């Protein structure tokens, strides 16, 4: 079951379980639409995987299966930003499954 993390790891924007703006990688790193499409260019800065729309958990299931309350915040600054930019350049045009 997906954790449904409550915030964007990059900018700390709230991303409630019903948000259609949440993007995740296969490890469930979570980002808002603006960060995912903007600075991250749909590539996870943690694993290099593709960022896709996170499914919305139906309201009737959120009581029995609540979303996570654990916030993860790792701003893309300094050396971390440089590493991500280098990764994007190195793997430009290569599909995520082939990286």
Q: What is the pLDDT along the chain (99 residues), one digit of tens a residue?
A: 999 999 999 999 999 999 999 999 999 999 999 999 999 999 999 999 999 999 999 999 999 999 999 999 999 999 999 999 999 999 999 999 999
Provide the whole-model pTM. Answer: 0.92
Angstrom CA distances, 20 to 9, 16, 48, 55, 62, stand at 16, 9, 22, 8, 16
| CA–CA distance, 74 with 16 (Å, rounded to integer) | 18
The sign of the torsion formed by the CA atoms of 17, 23, 26, 27 equals: negative
């Amino acid at each position: 079951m997906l954790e449904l993390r409550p915030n964007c790891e990059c900018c700390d924007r709230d991303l409630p379980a019903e948000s259609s703006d949440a993007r995740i990688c296969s490890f469930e790193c979570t980002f808002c639409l603006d960060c995912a499409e903007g600075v991250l260019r749909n590539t996870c800065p943690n694993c290099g995987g593709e960022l896709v729309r996170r499914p919305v958990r139906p309201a009737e299931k959120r009581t029995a299966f609540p979303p996570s309350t654990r916030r993860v915040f790792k701003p893309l600054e300094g050396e971390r930003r440089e590493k991500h930019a280098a990764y994007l350049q190195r793997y430009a045009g290569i599909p995520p499954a082939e990286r």
